[in-house]
Amino acid sequence: MLANYLKLALRNLRFKKGQSYVFINILGLAAAIGVALLLFAVVRFESNYDSFHKRGKDIYRIVTKDAFSGGEAFKSGVPYQLADYVKLNLPQVKRLTSIDAVYGSQIIVPAGAGVGTSDGKYKEDEGVFFTGPEYFDIFDAVWLSGNSAALAEPNTVVLNKTVAAKYFGQWQNAIGRYIRMDQTLMLQVAGVIEDFPANSDFPMRLIVSYGTLKNNAGKYGYDQNLDYINSSHQLFMLMPGNTNEEQINAQLTELSNKMYANKGGIGKFHFLLPLKENHFDSRFSNFGDHTASRSTLRILALIGQLIIIMASINFINIATARASHRAKEIGIRKVLGSDRRQLIIQLLLETGAIVLFSTLLGALIAGLLLPHLNNMINIHAHLMLLDKSNLLVLVLIFISVTLLAGMYPAFVLSGLKPIAALKRHVKGKAGGGIQLRKVLVVVQFSILQMLMIATIVIMTQMNFIRYADLGYDKSGVFMVPCYADSTNAYRLQSLKNQLLEVPGVQAVSFATDPPSSDNNWSSNFYFDHSKKNVGFNVFLKFSDADYFRTFDLKVLAGKAFSAGDTTREFVVNETFVRKLELKNNEDIIGKTIRIGTGNWYPIVGVVKDFKTNSLREDIKPMAIAINRSAYSQINIKMAATTHLQEPITHISNIWQSFFPDYAFTGEFLDESIARFYRQETQLAALYKSFSVIALLISCLGLYSLIAFMTLHRKKEIAVRKVLGASIGGILQLFLKELSLLIGISFLIAIPVGYWGISKWLQNFPYHINISILQFVTVFFMTLLIALLTSGYKVLKAALANPKESLQGE
């Protein structure tokens, strides 16, 4: 019996002439399932950051909060001495590890030790860490060779498998070999570990023993002053079994009060951040390349669900609409002896076979689109499409769509009396449920218009960011590393002079970073010889005197500082003046400032505000001064008409002559700024892509429904034509009702769309204003596309010969 049911179900999968809407319906559901699988894979990838650590739920990061009269500020880093204080004052914390990240490290693999016959030169932008063996008492790693005890000795390094193979050809060749780091450290490879998963905020590529950091404190900023906090130095602990987060936080507050007593107007506190929040708390940076927003992930998951709902609505609409055409078949089966239970099983099996086919096709579509998704969102990892979670999703989709689409025809048709079924006396129009189908169309187009509203606003906001006035000129600025150590510092002026001779180069400046960066170097400070700590932190940049000309920064009061090598005077921004509650910019000229425990220096100028970080953050109070030893970057301004390849080649040659032991790298400032908004750009691309897919699914469903309705009402249309109805009148008959449904869906989409996109825009202090024009544009776009989609089928029905439609009556 079951084999007969399956045979009949498969027979109904064959597409008959005039039933193209069945194929379109299956394709729409398959596309939705494929897209949803991709979205769920992305959400799961982001949600499972560092979930591979077995004790992850017990791992915490100790972070910093500064509280002052104007508010509060959060810092990822902690003082270097904090680990000793925690061990002394919280004896129950047995497992504690300090991790210090180094960015932009230069690695030399001596000739003969690595790949090739000459020295290998590498720049590791991330993934270089100082830590001790205790790191592996907290975090998990797979050791391919060696063990964590090697990190107890200075001048040792552990490599991950990929880096070991890159340096030495095969990872097995790495043990016992030497590498030179930053022209300072000669490190022996003492171990190799398996690469961490791609979704980890600990990209451990080179792990250098912590003793090496202490022995080279000056080179890497190891400072035991409690007032000094480096965001790259972070502290992690394993929660003791007999305590909880609240208890440790209370002890950390007590410890903070003891450590930072009498610090003026700023209160400094330490507290715990669970590892499970490490990737999602935007207040703190992590060692990875981004933080993720849980709300964004929820939105992506919701989009996947909505797209499946939209396709399911199509499927259910057509499945229920087709039911009336099977009434005679059901009547014959009842006459031949089929009971209701058998009919229900058969109809559900037929629906299930179609849904199963769509599900399998959707999984195939997801696999084909996966490489394109990886490129779009820049995930360099293999996303798992058919793991346990997604397989469960597929099963739930299969069951729910089968039941929703199959229950109505199965129970309604199986309950018909044979005589009524043979005469096609089915209650309601189009097999019943026409009002339900109208409701489903409204729901579908409401979802579509909400997605389109979000897409338009997000794209407009990203264009606003792309072309926003940052308060300085970012165009044509090429940035390359600068190594201003004692060996190279005296040659910097000569380097600048040679770079200025390159055709097309207009200005050159040395600095810690450009005006807009992810640098958050800040400090407490004292103002105008006061002994009281000012109630907010000042953010610092160090540069030479050409910085203002290179970036076209506008000095509003006083002057820019004079050329030199050491700090002698400061220039501050407008925000700094306002936060000190001074009335005019001129009022601060001649006043003095002392950073931390440093010397007093005069303020000689006020520069017009520029965007200090991304447009997600407010402009920070900024102070700029000269400090040659802090320079880490050369900013080279090129003329707009310059063909870039030739001057970059010249710049590379000059740079290599000054830094022959380093690998040359560089990028343009606008590329660096674009990275600030990588997540938003990716989100915009995803919204745009999936809005198009949602639009196509809606159009497919609408086309299928109109195709079926015109087929069902062809005799009605013929009779109207015989009685004198015009083609325009018949078109109006169908399209007027459709326009009303889309109008209702628009009224539903307006408040929901406005609320959601307003919440998203709150992430940006600088953002566009939502315009009614954006909503109206979405409405007319949707209406036009819907009319074009359905108009062809209605027009074809209106132009049909009435004789053919009425034949046999």
Q: What is the DSSP string of 147-202?
A: -GGGGGSTTEEEEEHHHHHHHHSSGGG-TT-EEEETTTEEEEEEEEEPPPPSS-S-
Tally of residues, the chain: 809
Cα 739 to the chain's mean position, in Å?
A: 37
d(CA 510, CA 513): 9
pLDDT of residue 16: 52
In a domain, 3, yes or no: no
Q: Which helix (H) or strand (E) holds 745?
A: helix 727-761
When pLDDT is cut at 50, 70 and 90, the band that residue 700 belongs to is confident
In a domain, 605, yes or no: yes
In contact, 194 and 142? CB cutoff 8 Å: yes
In a domain, 646, yes or no: yes
pLDDT of residue 123: 87
Coil, helix or strand for 309?
helix
Comparing 24-33, 180-189, 312-321, 722-731, the range with the smallest average pLDDT is: 312-321
When pLDDT is cut at 50, 70 and 90, the band that residue 432 belongs to is very low
In a domain, 677, yes or no: no
pLDDT at 380 over 70: no
In contact, 577 and 543? CB cutoff 8 Å: no
Which among 690, 73, 681 is positioned nearest to 377, based on CA atoms?
681
Domain carrying residue 259: 59-277
pLDDT of residue 518: 82
pLDDT of residue 174: 93
* Number of domains, the chain: 2
In contact, 283 and 267? CB cutoff 8 Å: no
When pLDDT is cut at 50, 70 and 90, the band that residue 436 belongs to is low
Higher pLDDT, 514 or 382: 514
The per-residue pLDDT for range 569-610, each reduced to its tens digit, is 999 999 999 999 998 999 999 999 998 888 999 999 999 999
In a domain, 331, yes or no: no
Which among 426, 428, 425, 419 is positioned nearest to 332, based on CA atoms?
419
For 134, the token pair is 């205790």
Mean local confidence (pLDDT), 26-53: 86
Coil, helix or strand for 55?
coil
Alpha-carbon torsion (705, 710, 715, 716), positive or negative? positive
pLDDT at 516 over 60: yes
Q: How many helices (H) and strands (E) does the chain have?
A: 24, 25
CB-based burial, 433-450: b 16+ in 10 Å, e otherwise:
beeebbebbbbbbbbbbb
Question: 335-344, 511-520, 704-713, 725-734 — which one is most confidently predicted on average?
Answer: 511-520
d(CA 478, CA 482): 13
State the average pLDDT for the chain: 83
When pLDDT is cut at 50, 70 and 90, the band that residue 147 belongs to is very high
What is the phi/psi pair of residue 472, to 5°?
A: -160, 170
In a domain, 285, yes or no: no
d(CA 534, CA 530): 9
d(CA 674, CA 279): 21
pLDDT at 434 over 60: no
In a domain, 494, yes or no: yes
* Residues 6+ away with beta carbon under 8 Å from 91: none
pLDDT of residue 554: 95
In contact, 481 and 634? CB cutoff 8 Å: yes
When pLDDT is cut at 50, 70 and 90, the band that residue 806 belongs to is low
pLDDT of residue 9: 59
* Residues 6+ away with beta carbon under 8 Å from 650: 502, 503
Amino acid at 65: K
d(CA 276, CA 292): 12
Higher pLDDT, 662 or 497: 497
Alpha-carbon torsion (754, 757, 763, 765), positive or negative? negative
Higher pLDDT, 143 or 462: 143
Last residue of a domain, which of 250, 277, 304? Answer: 277
Does the global pTM surpass 0.75? yes
Give strand pairing partners of 179. Answer: 187
pLDDT of residue 800: 72
In a domain, 302, yes or no: no
**∠ Cα 234 64 261 (to 5°):** 120
Which among 295, 300, 245, 296 is positioned nearest to 274, based on CA atoms?
245
* Alpha carbon distances (Å) from 760 to 280, 695, 754: 16, 22, 10
pLDDT at 59 over 90: yes
For 151, the token pair is 């990190």
The single residue listed with the structure tokens 């190279």 is 488
The single residue listed with the structure tokens 């003891």 is 258
d(CA 140, CA 798): 70
Q: Where are the alpha helices (H) located in 129-200, listed in sequence order? A: 135-138, 161-168
pLDDT of residue 252: 93
When pLDDT is cut at 50, 70 and 90, the band that residue 208 belongs to is very high
Last residue of a domain, which of 254, 277, 300? Answer: 277
Last residue of a domain, which of 262, 277, 292? Answer: 277
Amino acid at 329: E
pLDDT at 447 over 60: yes
